[in-house]
């Protein structure tokens, strides 16, 4: 046994390094703190330059209000801040920083030089820190603003360096963090240079969609939709998101900004995800920038050392607003032929989409012809259009798969299977009022794996809500007595492996997956002949859904061929 050691006060430099580890976890965290300081100083332009993923060097220069000599020296001491001064201030923080720890942490774990010029001072001032100690302070040259240079991050902490990725993976994190702040502050010009190469630059346009193009690549611009602004009480939700053809395989395209601070909020993320999950193909996630503005006193930013998580007092309400705007954006717009129209080859119509030339063109002014619509117009129109479908002229069924209707402005094709899936999915989501349990003549036995059986047992009540009546008869054996029967649903639903897999799906999205599977199996198939009355009823039911333009798997179900499109394609002008 090792003899017990004596309890002793730690040396100050050790205390500093321990504390620094909390706020500055990796290069991207240092960049984040320096960007926040620049924004708090009112910068209009922030240049970020990193080498070796930020481990070798990070330099952040801003044109904010700068510091005078005294402040420049005080700023790097622990618990020094100009942003809050009383306990009450903590309840309504308007700045990004407030903990007064970032610079103190940085000087504890890296070599730091600050050059700053205060707008009222005659000259610039430079301070240099080595191993947490101020080794130089004196005049320098700089226009108003501040440049902070951080070299050899964690060089004195070999343990920490071991936990970090390669320079390249740390650089990726810096890109992500910088992009989040650029999106949160679209009116500020950001540039990011990594190993002497420009990663991206934003123009300070003030437009979130422009910054999304500038930081993700212009290719996504054409697919961006403006979310309808939602206002409730003192909170507003607005933003932009990619349409169903502009998605990512991960959630990293989703950025949530609360009062100018990009945040992680599991509640809002969940709200957003549950809204888009049934509207996008499985495994795809949107590009989205959600801007939330609410009272400063409704946000608690002081729950996380790196301030990346916040508590929102009205998270449920705001989550509901987020869900509503996402559903409207993704769920109500019929698909259309590509912007440029279909290409005509040797006098024949063919289905080769012409790439839209939109992104490189200057923003178009709305033409009186009504040919160009903003995404908001499209959404509004999409919603109205689907409501009007049942009142339009029903032309008939095409390929025993599509319902064809003609309206004043064009032709519409509705996929009968997907439309019915959408209707049934929303009925199932509405719960027991609409869904009846239909008893099976012979109960069906399901044999599960042991871990599935545990999950299954805990979900029996929820499954009853969905119209399943299930009884446990053995350790891993369950008997299905009844299945959900939705109005107009075919009776082809039998409990089998696929259904039981969704019922015991480990994720919390099992509800949606099961509903999708039930809707898909109960819905009308392609190939079924429909009488006019049945087609009308389906259009009526579809018009009553929340997201009438997409099936629960996220595929489009209405195709619109506008009159304008036909005129163009046939040269009928
Ligand atoms: P906090 O941001 O929580 O106040 P920091 O350690 O990040 O703490 O910064 C300490 C103080 O230094 C800030 O309150 C601010 O007054 C000053 N400061 C830091 N960076 C800048 C900057 N880029 N421009 C002007 N002032 C700055
Ligand atoms: Mg700060």
pLDDT, one tens digit for every residue, the chain (573 residues): 577 778 888 887 777 777 766 678 899 999 999 999 999 999 999 999 999 999 999 999 999 999 999 999 898 887 788 887 777 777 777 888 887 789 999 998 999 999 999 976 678 999 999 988 999 999 998 999 999 999 999 887 777 788 888 889 999 999 999 999 999 999 999 999 999 999 999 999 999 999 999 999 988 888 888 888 888 888 899 999 998 878 899 899 999 999 999 988 888 888 888 888 888 888 889 999 999 998 888 888 777 777 777 778 888 888 888 888 888 888 776 665 544 444 443 333 333 333 333 333 333 333 333 334 444 555 666 777 888 899 999 999 999 999 999 988 888 999 999 999 999 998 888 775 667 778 888 888 888 888 888 888 989 988 888 888 899 999 999 999 988 877 655 555 677 777 888 888 887 788 888 888 888 888 998 999 999 999 999 999 999 888 888 888 877 788 888 888 888 888 887
For 164: left if phi > 0, alpha if psi spans -120 to 50, otherwise beta; the answer is beta
CB distance 293 to 236 below 8 Å? yes
* Beta carbon of 75 within 6 Å of any ligand 1 atom: yes
Which residue owns the Cα nearest ligand 1 atom 23? 38
Task: Indicate which atom in ligand 1 lies nearest the CA of residue 60.
Answer: 23
Q: 124-130 and 45-51 as β-strands: parallel, antiparallel, unpaired?
A: unpaired
Q: Which ligand is nearest to the CA of 81?
A: 1
Decide whether any atom of ligand 1 lies within 6 Å of the 145 Cβ: no
CA distance 27 to 378: 43
Cβ count within 10 A of residue 476: 16
- Which tokens is 333 given? 């717009």
CB of residue 118 inside a 6 A radius of ligand 1: no
Q: How far apart are CA 390 and CA 387, in angstroms?
A: 7
Distance from the CA of 213 to the center of ligand 2, in angstroms? 28
Contact 261, 310 (CB under 8 A): yes
Q: Which residue has the tokens 């160009």?
A: 372
What's phi and psi for 537, nearest 5 deg?
A: -60, -40
Residue to mutate (ligand 1; options 103, 114, 148, 181; most atoms within 8 A of CB): 103
Residues 6+ apart with CB under 8 A from 209: 221, 224, 226, 240
CA of 264 to the centre of ligand 1 (A): 23
Cα torsion 5, 11, 17, 19: sign? positive
Paired tokens of 283: 């495994």
Q: What is the pTM of this model?
A: 0.72
Give the phi and the psi of residue 367 in degrees, each rounded to 5.
-85, 145
The number of CA neighbours under 13 Å toward the Cβ of 468 is 28
Ligand nearest to the CA of 101: 1
Strand arrangement, sheet containing 436-447: 436-447, 477-485, 469-472
What distance in Å separates the CA atoms of residue 340 and residue 427, rounded to the nearest whole number? 37
Q: Is 115 in the pocket of ligand 1 (CB under 6 A)?
A: no
Ligand with smallest separation from the Cα of 62: 1
Cα separation values, 80 from 70, 97, 104, 105, 507, Å: 12, 11, 9, 12, 45
| Cα separation values, 463 from 313, 429, 431, 446, 470, Å | 32, 12, 10, 14, 8
Tokens 């990009």 found at? 262
123 neighbors 139 (Cβ within 8 angstroms): yes
Tokens representing residue 245 in the block: 């053809």
pLDDT in tens, 59-68: 999 999 999 9
Distance 82 CA to ligand 2 centre (A): 10
Ligand 1 and 32: CB distance under 6 A: no
CA distances from 465 to 329, 456, 468, 546 (A): 29, 14, 7, 21
- Give the mutation target among 97, 98, 109, 149 for probing the ligand 1 site: most ligand atoms within 8 A of CB: 97
CA distance 354 to 338: 7
Is residue 549 within 8 A of residue 389, CB to CB? The reply is: no
- Three-class secondary structure of residue 7 per DSSP: coil
Task: Looking at the CA of residue 98, tell me the nearest atom of ligand 1.
Answer: 3
Nearest to 229 by CA among 276, 186, 291: 291
pLDDT, tens digit (0-9, with 9 covering 90-100), for 368-393: 333 344 445 556 667 778 888 999 99
């Amino acid at each position: 046994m090792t003899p017990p050691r004596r309890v002793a006060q730690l040396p100050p430099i050790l205390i500093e390094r321990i504390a620094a580890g909390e706020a500055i976890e990796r290069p991207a965290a240092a960049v984040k703190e320096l960007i926040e300081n620049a924004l708090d100083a009112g910068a209009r332009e922030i240049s970020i330059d990193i080498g070796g993923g930020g481990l070798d060097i990070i330099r952040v220069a801003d044109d904010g209000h700068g510091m005078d000599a005294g402040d420049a020296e005080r700023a790097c001491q622990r618990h020094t801040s100009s942003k809050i001064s009383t306990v009450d201030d903590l309840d309504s923080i308007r700045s990004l920083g407030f903990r007064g720890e970032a610079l103190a942490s940085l000087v504890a774990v890296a070599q730091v030089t600050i050059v700053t010029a205060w707008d009222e001072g005659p000259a610039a001032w430079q301070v240099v820190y080595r191993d947490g100690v101020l080794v130089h302070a004196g005049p320098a040259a700089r226009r108003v603003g501040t440049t902070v240079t951080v070299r050899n991050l964690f060089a004195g902490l070999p343990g920490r360096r071991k936990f970090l990725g390669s320079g390249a993976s740390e650089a990726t994190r810096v890109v992500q963090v910088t992009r989040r702040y650029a999106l949160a502050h679209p009116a500020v010009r950001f540039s990011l240079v990594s190993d002497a190469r420009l990663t991206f630059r934003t123009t300070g346009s003030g437009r979130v969609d422009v910054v999304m193009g500038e930081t993700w690549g212009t290719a996504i611009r054409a697919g961006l939709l403006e979310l309808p602004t939602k206002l409730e009480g003192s909170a507003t939700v607005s933003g932009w998101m990619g349409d169903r053809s502009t998605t990512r395989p991960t959630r990293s395209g989703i950025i949530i900004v609360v009062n100018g601070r990009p945040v992680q909020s599991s509640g809002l993320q969940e709200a957003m995800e549950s809204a888009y999950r049934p509207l996008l193909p499985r495994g795809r996630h949107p590009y989205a920038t959600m801007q939330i503005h609410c009272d400063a006193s409704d946000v608690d930013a002081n729950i996380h050392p790196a301030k990346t998580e916040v508590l929102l007092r009205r998270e449920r309400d705001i989550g509901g607003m987020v869900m509503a705007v996402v559903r409207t954006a993704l769920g109500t717009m019929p698909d259309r032929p590509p912007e440029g129209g279909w290409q005509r080859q040797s006098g024949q119509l063919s289905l080769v989409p012409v790439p839209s030339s939109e992104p490189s063109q200057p923003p178009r002014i709305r033409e009186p012809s009504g040919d160009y619509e903003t995404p908001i117009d499209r959404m509004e129109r999409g919603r109205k259009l689907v409501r009007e479908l049942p009142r339009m002229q029903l032309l008939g069924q095409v390929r025993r798969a599509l319902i064809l209707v003609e309206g004043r402005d064009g032709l519409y094709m509705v996929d009968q299977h997907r439309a019915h899936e959408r209707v049934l999915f929303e009925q199932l989501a509405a719960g027991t009022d609409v869904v009846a349990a239909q008893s099976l003549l012979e109960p069906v036995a399901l044999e599960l794996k042991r871990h599935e059986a545990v999950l299954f047992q805990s979900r029996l009540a929820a499954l009853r809500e969905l119209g399943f009546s299930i009884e446990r008869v053995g350790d891993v054996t369950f008997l299905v007595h009844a299945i959900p029967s939705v109005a107009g649903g075919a009776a082809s639903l039998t409990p089998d492996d696929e259904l039981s897999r969704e019922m015991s799906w480990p994720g919390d999205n099992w509800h949606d997956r099961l509903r999708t599977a039930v809707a898909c199996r109960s819905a009308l198939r392609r190939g079924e002949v429909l009488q006019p009355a049945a087609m009308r009823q389906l259009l009526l039911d579809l018009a009553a859904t929340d997201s009438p333009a997409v099936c629960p798997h996220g595929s489009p179900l209405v195709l619109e061929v506008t009159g304008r499109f036909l005129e163009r394609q046939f040269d009928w002008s």
